[in-house]
Amino acid sequence: MGQRGMTFAEWCSAVAVVFVVAPGIAAAADLSPEAPPPPPAAPATYAPPVPDWIVTVGGESQAIPAWPGAPTSEYGLTGFPLFAL
């Protein structure tokens, strides 16, 4: 079983296929570039922009001993403002 080469008819067929297929492949390089899309049109009515952040305001209260070492019956109330962005 030896290798058999291509006959003259097979070579002609292969060359013909290359000449038929190659222009279709190369045609993309010849195309002119597409025009850029038009800029977006302005909206007919004004729509305020949507905020991209949220501010949370709150408070925290605590009942803690009035001073260090104070008896458990004496409490002091404290409060803290809380802000979160």
Is pLDDT larger for residue 68 or for residue 33?
68
Task: Please give the share of the chain, as a percent, with pLDDT higher than 70.
Answer: 82
pLDDT above 70: residue 3: no
Hey, is 16 helix, strand or coil? helix
Radius of gyration from C-alpha coordinates of the chain: 41
pTM score, two decimals? Answer: 0.30
Task: Determine phi and psi for 32, rounding to 5 degrees.
Answer: -75, 150
Is pLDDT larger for residue 65 or for residue 27?
65
Nearest Cα to Cα of residue 18 among 29, 8, 26: 26
**Angle 32-33-37 from CA coordinates, rounded to 5°:** 140
Break the chain into its structural domains and give their ranges.
8-31+52-84
> Residues 56-73: pLDDT tens digits?
899 989 888 888 888 878
Highest mean pLDDT among 24-28, 69-73, 77-81: 77-81
50 DSSP 8-state letter? P
| pLDDT for residue 28 | 59
pLDDT above 80: residue 22: no
